[in-house]
Chains A and B, each alone.
Chain A
Amino acid sequence: MSVVMLSLTGLCALLIISILFFILGYLVWNGGKSLSWDFFTRLPAPVGEAGGGMANAIVGTLKLLLIASLMGIPIGVIGGIYLSEYGGRVFGFIVRYTTDLLNGVPSIVVGIFAYSLIVLHTKHFSTLAGGFALGVMMIPITLRSTEDFLLAVPRTLREGAMALGASKWKTITSVVIPAAYRGILTAVLLALARVSGETAPLLFTAFSNRYWSPGWNQPTASLPVMIYTYAIAPYEDWHRQAWAAGVVLLGLVLAANIIARTVLSRGIAVPR
């Protein structure tokens, strides 16, 4: 019986891993072929002309993620601290529940929200509006995982600090958060990775741009929207560019992960 279970679970694991590797391999294979230095340094070429790159989209994505982080990380982390350390029964429940609902809101609806709140008022598409939409999406992910990681900090650690005369706030900032720090950072990176690939909320907020975005208040290109535009275009050359953009987006997420893990391997972790 245990042999059957072992082979069954092993088979499932193998299946999942092979699907994952197939997708990754296909992406790297197709994207790698069309990746060149030009891709990182040049603007998109006019239709019919071969070559060109997506430098503006790479920078655009980074700018969007910066705004999203500035908004999503503080609200998410501080909200998570509130829920885990202070949240009352009723209000805590309401916050938790709305956060979960927000997490389930389709990303295109978040896009419409940013559109009606910012684009309609400023009367043009902008990096700001796109970053805002992504920031809204980051909040629930960051908030709930921050809460989970803080709750996982043993109660005895808090008591140890309070027994030494530390106030509640001091206990949270100097013992609880440092103990949960790695988890929170991982959560933030997961949230970033998740929104970095979002296309729908950017379609009518950041829109797109074939040139350098002239300012935060102007439309900007981004990798996901470029992939979308290029992949459905009728040109063979654009398809190749879309594959390359996919690889770059993947690389971006991977780089964030690796950097985080190197940072995380320093410092002291709480054994669980």
Chain B
Amino acid sequence: MEIPANAAATARVKIDMGIPAQNPEPQTPARIQIEGLNFFYGKMQALHNISLVIPANRITALIGPSGCGKSTLIRTINRMHETVRIARAEGTILLDNEDIFRLDVVRLRRRVGMVFQRPNPFPKSIFENVAFGLRVNGFKGSLSEAVERSLRRAALWDEVKDKLHKSAYELSGGQQQRLCIARALAVDPEVLLLDEPCSALDPVTTAKIEELLFNLKEYCTMVIVTHNMQQAARSSDFTAFMLDGRVVEYQPTARLFTNPSDPRTEAYLTGRFG
């Protein structure tokens, strides 16, 4: 998409007004543009007028205390919220300038993959787990090549190449999570949403996954929800701090962590609440 010349200036003005910046890195094309997003569970409003621009091939982290709406926001991007009967989203989300609410939901989810909080491999073999998305989407071509490519990208190939037809449940937790990443990568998504992908993993495994995500920037844009501020600081390019269903501040990660412009961000980062 084209970036207006004065985008940076606009962004700065908005920060001064305490309203989140739109694109924290105007020179990078936007992959996702969220505009005026409101979200409701029944009568309870979970998100208030969210506007965010997610730059392509970068990692954007969403941080904030429990219940601030970061998971809700990420689940709206691939319309997973529609599986909850009383959930309702209003506003616009553009994926490459296309309105996601007008896209066919199956096609949207093919383009926007998701990795969940706990590893959730299917009760199938390792191979079938990765092949699942390809089969569902009527992939024509060599399944085994595609599966190998995805497993390599998820840095899991060497560990599983001799037991592709064993149950996915024989893998360790960290391997299962990388398998889930491989499964999501198999359909070549433009965007990968990660909903606290390391919260069930130990620090060593977490480090492996963070390294993996860094290397995946080549292939896709990532949005990661995390409880762990160190993780956001280490692995993301941009960070949005959310509170009570609103984006308080959205900045390049280094700036948000060293020099937050909103006192609430600073309070959260220094551990005064959350």
Contacts and interface: CB of A to CB of B under 8 A. Distances in A.
B120 interface: yes
A7 interface: no
Contact of B167 (A154, A161, A167, A268): A268
B187 A268 contact: no
A163 B125 contact: no
Given A156-B116, A160-B180, A269-B123, A165 B187 contact: yes
Interface stretch (A136-144, A172-180, A197-205): A172-180
Contact of A159 (B80, B125, B136): B80
Contacts of A269: 123
Contacts of B109: 162-165
Contact of A163 (B80, B117, B124, B168): B80
B183 interface: yes
Contact of A156 (B78, B120, B136, B183): B120
Contacts of B183: 160, 164
Contacts of B180: 160
A90 to B, nearest CB: 13
B122 A271 contact: no
B83 A165 contact: no
Interface residues of B, number: 29
A159 B124 CA distance: 16
A205 to B, nearest CB: 41
B59 interface: no
A261 interface: no
A179 B122 contact: yes
A157 B118 CA distance: 10
B80 A162 contact: yes
B123 A164 contact: no
Contacts of B243: none
A124 B136 CA distance: 51
- Which of B80, B83, B107, B123 has the most CB atoms of chain A within a 10 A radius of its CB? B123
Nearest to B180: A160
Contacts of B110: 164-165
Contacts of A164: 109-110, 113, 132-133, 136-137, 183-184, 187
A157 B124 CA distance: 12
A167 B120 contact: no
A170 B120 contact: no
A26 to B, nearest CB: 42
Given A170-B136, A268-B167, A268-B169, A163 B122 contact: no
Contacts of B168: 268
B225 to A, nearest CB: 14
19 contacts: A154-B120, A156-B118, A160-B180, A161-B132, A161-B136, A162-B83, A163-B78, A163-B113, A164-B133, A164-B136, A165-B106, A165-B133, A165-B187, A166-B132, A174-B136, A175-B122, A179-B122, A270-B123, A271-B169
Interface of B: 78, 80, 83, 106-107, 109-110, 113-114, 116-118, 120-125, 132-133, 136-137, 167-169, 180, 183-184, 187
